[in-house]
Amino acid sequence: MKKENKSAFFKGKGFYAALTAGVAAVFAVGIIGTHMLSNENKNVEQNKQPSSIAEQKRDELKVADAGQEKKKISEEQKEQIAENTEEKKAPDTEDGSSETDKKKDEQISDIGKTEETAEAEEPMKAVLSNDSKISNQSFDEDAGLLWPIKGEIVLDYSMDKPVYFKTLAQYKCNPALLIAGKKNMDVVSAAAGVITKVDKNEETGITITASIGDDYQLVYGQLADVKVKKGDQVKAGQVLGKLAEPTKYYKEEGTNLFFEVLEGEESVNPLLLLQ
């Protein structure tokens, strides 16, 4: 009777219902197990991640520290190299320039000073040279003076009484001789001497002054085409220049040479010395 009941059970609907329930239970258990395993794996991954991040940060810090250390060493090496280089250089002066630069500046300055001194000394040398030439001159009064041009005396020397000047239409003293001549005729040095001045003024035009020694000076006025310059030594009879047209102060007197003799600061009568 029991065997028949069992057979009827397996053959009936109850068997299939129980089988289905069992499969469902197994499936459910499998799903639950899988879900639990997945959660466990997640927890493991979550637990591992912080540790991995921490390790990664530690590694990054180690790399950064190593880089800083390397940079520090590099900076120290640079400083050491700079110190070694500075030791080899010439010591700096107080103003920050190197001793080498200072020496170069001093050399340039010395050259400039030498040039300035030379330029300043040139005029002095010329003066000393002229003074030396003048001091070596000696005028022989007995030998007298050559006539600077050959011609008639237009106006006499006169410092003790006035004489009449036609152009000026007045009487006044005359410190020189006015010697008539022709335009462009040669004017020669009346004595050996040194040219001390070549200038131009309104009254006597281009004028040459020469020292002939013993405190005597000769002045030649109304010249053109001058052949000499200041500092030149001239011989008696040497051409100084040409006779020019008269200035406006001597138009009525005609073409003439203004010839003056000075002893010190005072004019003397040239006729007393002309041969």
Q: Output the pLDDT for position 49.
A: 46
Given a contact cutoff of 8 angstroms between Cβ atoms, the answer to whether 153 and 179 are in contact is yes
Count: domains in the chain: 2
> Among 65, 84, 103, where does a domain finish?
84
Residue of 243 and 126 predicted with greater confidence:
243
Q: Which range (116-130, 158-172, 220-234) has the least confidence?
A: 116-130
Residue length of the chain: 275
Please give the share of the chain, as a percent, with pLDDT higher than 70. Answer: 51
Cα-based angle 18, 19, 20 (whole degrees, multiple of 5): 90
218 pLDDT band (50/70/90 cuts)?
very high
Residues 158 and 235 in one domain: yes
Residue 221, in any domain of the structure? yes
129 in a domain, yes or no?
no
Does some domain include residue 116? no
Joined tokens for residue 268: 């003397």
Q: What is the pTM of this model?
A: 0.55
pLDDT band at 184 (very low <50, low <70, confident <90, very high): very high
> For residue 45, what are the domain limits?
2-84
Identify the residue with better confidence: 243 or 102.
Answer: 243
Tell me what percent of the residues of the chain surpass a pLDDT of 90.
Answer: 48
Same domain, yes or no: 160 and 265: yes
Q: Which residue has the higher pLDDT, 99 or 172?
A: 172
Would you call 273 helix, strand, or coil by DSSP? coil
Query: Are 264 and 161 part of one and the same domain?
Result: yes
Instruction: Clarify whether residues 160 and 258 are in a common domain.
Output: yes
Quick: pLDDT tens for 34-67. 555 555 555 545 444 444 555 565 666 555 555 5
* Distance from C-alpha of 165 to C-alpha of 163, rounded to nearest angstrom: 7
Q: Let me know if 236 is exposed, middle or buried by CB neighbors in 10 A (0-12, 13-18, 19+).
A: middle
- 171, 130 contact by CB (below 8 A): no
**pLDDT band, very low/low/confident/very high, at 1 (cuts 50, 70, 90):** very low
Q: Which of 84, 99, 125 is the last residue of a domain?
A: 84
Question: What's the pLDDT score for residue 167?
Answer: 96
